[in-house]
Structure 1
Amino acid sequence: MARIFLLALLGQFCFLPYLDAITSSPKVQVYSRHPTDSVKKNYINCYVSGFHPPQITIDLLKNGQKIENVETSDLSFSNDWTFHRLVSAPFDPHDKSEYACRVTHSTLREPKEVKWGFKKSGLKWKDFKYASLFLKLCLNRIWL
């Protein structure tokens, strides 16, 4: 009996401190719930995953200012014992505002900020003209 007690005590002193030492930095994804051309009410989502320890602060930003009254999912954990959480808020993807997600976690030296990446198509008519001209020149060289 004393041997079992000694092994249990030894296990607590040797292994338990290392459980708190396991850390993992958060991965951050920012996206809209529906396609930007949808007529449905849309939401900006910030999905943060793969972090440990579980203490974390996730803020959605509009033009650098914290959005109040966001919806926050329960803190959940994955098979590898890291955590994940979703934070979302209603938004209009067609206004000129800049949206981002700011994450503060003990594994980060400074808060991590990820911007929402929607941009209207950057292609212009002149881009198509140049591409078609290039294609025409290439095809002419092949057929000549």
Structure 2
Amino acid sequence: KRIRLVTMRLGVQSLAKLSPPKVQVYSRHPAENGKPNYLNCYVSGFHPPQIEIDLLKNGEKMNAEQSDLSFSKDWSFYLLVHTEFTPNAVDQYSCRVKHVTLDKPKIVKWDRDH
């Protein structure tokens, strides 16, 4: 059984093409200054599965939790990284993604109005 599983994984990996990640940054609730909230970075559609995702506050890495790696019907992968935060009028939040398909890290800013 173990040999079959390895063969299956290798077969799937070789069939899938390189796919760059799509990145969405959003808060769980509408943003209100001084009110605790959750910041989410949803990264999807990428292959291979090796990826590095960081939530940033003013360019500095935040402590965050990451969901288990999951895959879609097309064998592309997706992850959710999230953390608690309290928005204000000064701090800037973003999500930084590093993946083999990207020449440089992709940084997507959180837009509090969307």
Give the TM-score normalised by the residue count of structure 1.
0.65
Secondary structure of the equivalent of 1:109? Answer: coil
Q: 1:107 aligns with which of 101, 104, 113?
A: 101
Q: 2:30 aligns with which of 35, 43, 66?
A: 35
Which stretches of structure 1, 4 residues or more, deviate above 3 A after TM superposition? 37-41
> Between Structure 1 and Structure 2, how many residues are aligned?
104
Gaps of 5+ in 2: 1-6
Q: Are residues 1:24 and 2:19 paired? A: yes
Gaps of 5+ in 1: 1-11, 120-144
Per-residue displacement from partner, 1:14-73 (whole Å, max 9, x unpaired)?
A: xx5x816611000000000111149974111000000000000000000000012x1110
Describe how 1:55-134 pairs up with structure 2 within 5 A. Answer: 55-68=50-63, 70-118=64-112
| Higher share of residues assigned strand | 2
Q: Distance in 2 between matches of 1:107 and 1:44?
A: 25
Q: Given that residues 54 and 96 in structure 2 are in contact (C-alpha distance below 8 angstroms), is that contact kept between their aligned partners in structure 1?
A: yes
Q: Which has the higher contact order (CA 8 A, sep 6+)?
A: 2
Q: Distance in 2 between matches of 1:56 and 1:105?
A: 5
Cα root mean square deviation, aligned: 2.3
Q: Could you tell me the percent identity over the aligned residues?
A: 59
Question: What's 1:44 paired with?
Answer: 39
Q: Given that residues 45 and 89 in structure 1 are in contact (C-alpha distance below 8 angstroms), is that contact kept between their aligned partners in structure 2?
A: yes
Q: Which has the greater radius of gyration?
A: 1
2:103 alignment partner AA: R
Q: Distance in 1 between matches of 2:35 and 2:89?
A: 15
| Higher share of residues assigned helix | 1
